[in-house]
Amino acid sequence: MPSTVERLSPSHVKVTMTVPFDDLQPAIDKAYKDIARSVNLPGFRKGHVPASLIDQRYGRGAVLQEAINAQLPDLYNAAVDENKLTPLGQPEIDIVKLEDGEVIELTAEVDVRPDFELPDVGDLSVTVDPSTIDDAAVNERLDLLRQRFATYNDLDRPAADGDVVGIDLAASQGGVDLPEASAPAMTYIVGSGGLVDGLDKAVTGLTVGQAKKFSTKLVGGEHAGEKADVTVTVNKVQERVLPRVDDDFAQLVSEYDTAGEMLDGLRDGLERMARVGQANQARDKVLDALVERTDFELPPKVLEAELAARRQDIEDQLAGAGLSVERYLQEIGDDTITTPDQFWDDLSDRTEKNLRARLILDKLSEDATDITVTQEDLTEFIVAKAQDDGVTPDQEAQHMMEHNHLAEWMGEIRRGKALTQVVGQVSVKDTDGRKVDISRIRPDGTLGEMTTAEAEPTATTKAAKPAKAKKKA
C-alpha cells in the first residue's frame, strides 16, 4: 500500500494512504458475512442473507465503511512502519476518497517524535558524592540501633532534658477547644523539638499528673500557622537507657557474633548505600545534560495530556489524604515553593523535562542495536517495582498482565539500559577527585569485577589486603 508523509510541524504529520480497491476485497467479503450473521430477515437463515439484499436494506456504502474500519489499524500501522514514524498519540483519520471500485484514499494526522540529533557526551564529566564513610556516620547508625533496643525506667521526679515523657496535648482558641489540633497519648523526648514552639520549656519541671498552658503557633492541620493556647499534661516521666555495645548486643541486633564485626557490617551497608547514591547521582546528572544539549519541539497536545494526567494524579492523592495544595505546602515546609501557582509551575517544568528525557532515551535505545530486554531483566524490574509498591512480585506481575503494562515496562527497561550506556561514556569522579566506575556498581551497592587497569596495581599502589570474612550467627 503506497503512503506519503507531509510534515505539518516538526512534531505533527499527515500520512496519506492510498489503498487499491482489490486490497479491500477480503475485508468487504468479511463485512458481508458479519452483517449477515447479525440480522434477521424473513425467509433467510441467520448468516445466509445474500449480499444484494444487504445492499438493498443497508446500502453498499455501509458495507464499505465497515470494511475500511476493520482494516484501518493494519493500514495505519503499515504506513507508520513504512515511513519510520514514532507516533506519540492517537491519530485523527479521515476518509478522503471512497468510491466503489475505485482507489481509496485515507489521511491520518498524528503527533510524532520529532527528528533530532543525539548529542555527543564524550566531553561530559559529572561529580558525585564520595562513597567513603566516616566514623561519625557509623556511630549515627549505631545510635539508631541502640535507641531501637533501649529500655525505659519510670522516674519519680520532674521531667528534664533528655527524659522520655508521655503527654496529652489539648489546643484551644478563645476558650473554644480544637479537637483536630489536639494530640492525646503522645511520647516525646524533652529537648528534641519538632512539635510546637514552647513545648520543651513548658514540660520541663513537670511531674506526673501536672499540666501547664502555653501559647504557640500551630504547625499542622486546618489551623496551621494560627496562634492557639496549648495545655500539656504529663502522664509519665522515664529515663531512656541505651544498651552497651558489646558482643551480646551484636548478636541481638545483627547477624554477627562480635561488636567489631557488627560495626564493620554497618560500615559496609552504608558504603553500599553511598555507591547506589553515586550511581543515581551520575545517571540523573547525565540525563539532565542530555536534555540540556538536545533541542527539539515537543508536540503541544502530548505535553498537555501528560501534564493533565500528572496533575489529576496529584489532585487525587491530595484529596485522598484530605489535603489542599496550600496545606500540603505548609506541611512539607519547602522554602522554594510556597504558593499553589509555584507548585503547579514546578510540576509543569518537571513534566516537560521528563517527557523530553523519555523521548531522548527512546531514540537512544532504538539506535543501540545491542540493547535487548531479557526475561531476567523483566523479572528484576518486577521484583524491584513490587518492593516499591509494597506487594509481592506475583501480585505485581498479575497487575502488569491485567493492565497491559508489559510493553510500557519493557520500554522503561530499555530506557534504563540506554542511559547506563551513555553514563559509561562519561567521566565520573567524586568530590575528592577519585574516578568512579558506575558500571561496577550493582543495584544492591556491591561492586562487580574490576577492569584490567584497576586490577593491576601500579608502582605507587599497594596491594590491598583481603577483607576479613564476616562470621554469621
Grid cell in block for residue 235: 502522664
The larger pLDDT score, comparing residue 326 to residue 42, is at 326
Neighbours of 436 (CB within 10 A): 22
CATH number of residue 185's parent domain: 3.10.50.40
Instruction: Judge if 231 and 283 occupy the same domain.
Output: no
Beta-strand ranges (E) seen in 129-283 are 151-154, 164-173, 176-177, 183-189, 211-217, 227-241
- The number of residues in the chain equals 473
Q: How much is the average pLDDT of 169-198?
A: 90
Q: Is residue 314 one of the residues assigned to a domain?
A: no
Of the candidates 49, 80, 111, which is a domain's last residue? 111
Span 332-351, pLDDT tens digits: 878 889 899 999 999 999 99
Range of the domain at 71: 3-111
Does residue 367 have a pLDDT over 60? yes
Q: Is residue 320 one of the residues assigned to a domain?
A: no
Q: Is residue 303 one of the residues assigned to a domain?
A: no
The larger pLDDT score, comparing residue 103 to residue 467, is at 103
Instruction: Judge if 84 and 158 occupy the same domain.
Output: no
Instruction: Judge if 266 and 237 occupy the same domain.
Output: no
Q: How much is the average pLDDT of 314-337?
A: 86
Q: What is the mean pLDDT of the chain?
A: 88
Instruction: Judge if 374 and 435 occupy the same domain.
Output: yes
Q: Is 288 helix (H, G, I), strand (E, B) or coil?
A: helix
Q: CA-to-CA distance for 205 and 54, rounded, in angstroms?
A: 95
Instruction: Judge if 193 and 99 occupy the same domain.
Output: no
Instruction: Judge if 180 and 274 occupy the same domain.
Output: no
Q: How much is the average pLDDT of 234-245?
A: 95
Q: Is residue 248 one of the residues assigned to a domain?
A: no
Instruction: Judge if 277 and 407 occupy the same domain.
Output: yes
Q: Is residue 107 one of the residues assigned to a domain?
A: yes
Task: Quote the pLDDT of residue 450.
Answer: 55
Instruction: Judge if 441 and 292 occupy the same domain.
Output: yes
The larger pLDDT score, comparing residue 36 to residue 449, is at 36
Provide the pLDDT confidence category of residue 295 given band limits of 50, 70 and 90.
very high
Task: Determine if the pTM surpasses 0.85.
Answer: no
Instruction: Judge if 279 and 380 occupy the same domain.
Output: yes
Q: Is residue 359 one of the residues assigned to a domain?
A: no
Instruction: Judge if 167 and 269 occupy the same domain.
Output: no
Bridge partner list, 95: 106
Contact 183, 231 (CB under 8 A): no
CATH number of residue 30's parent domain: 3.30.70.1050
Q: Is residue 305 one of the residues assigned to a domain?
A: no
The domain total for the chain is 3
Q: Is residue 470 one of the residues assigned to a domain?
A: no
pLDDT above 70 as % of the chain:
94
Instruction: Judge if 165 and 73 occupy the same domain.
Output: no
Does residue 370 have a pLDDT over 80? yes
Q: CA-to-CA distance for 152 and 159, rounded, in angstroms?
A: 14
Span 165-175, pLDDT tens digits: 999 999 999 88
Does residue 194 have a pLDDT over 90? no
Type of residue at 80: V
Task: Quote the pLDDT of residue 456.
Answer: 42
Q: CA-to-CA distance for 469 and 464, rounded, in angstroms?
A: 15
Instruction: Judge if 172 and 270 occupy the same domain.
Output: no
The larger pLDDT score, comparing residue 329 to residue 352, is at 352
Span 436-456, pLDDT tens digits: 998 888 888 888 865 444 444
β-strands 176-177, 125-128 pairing: unpaired
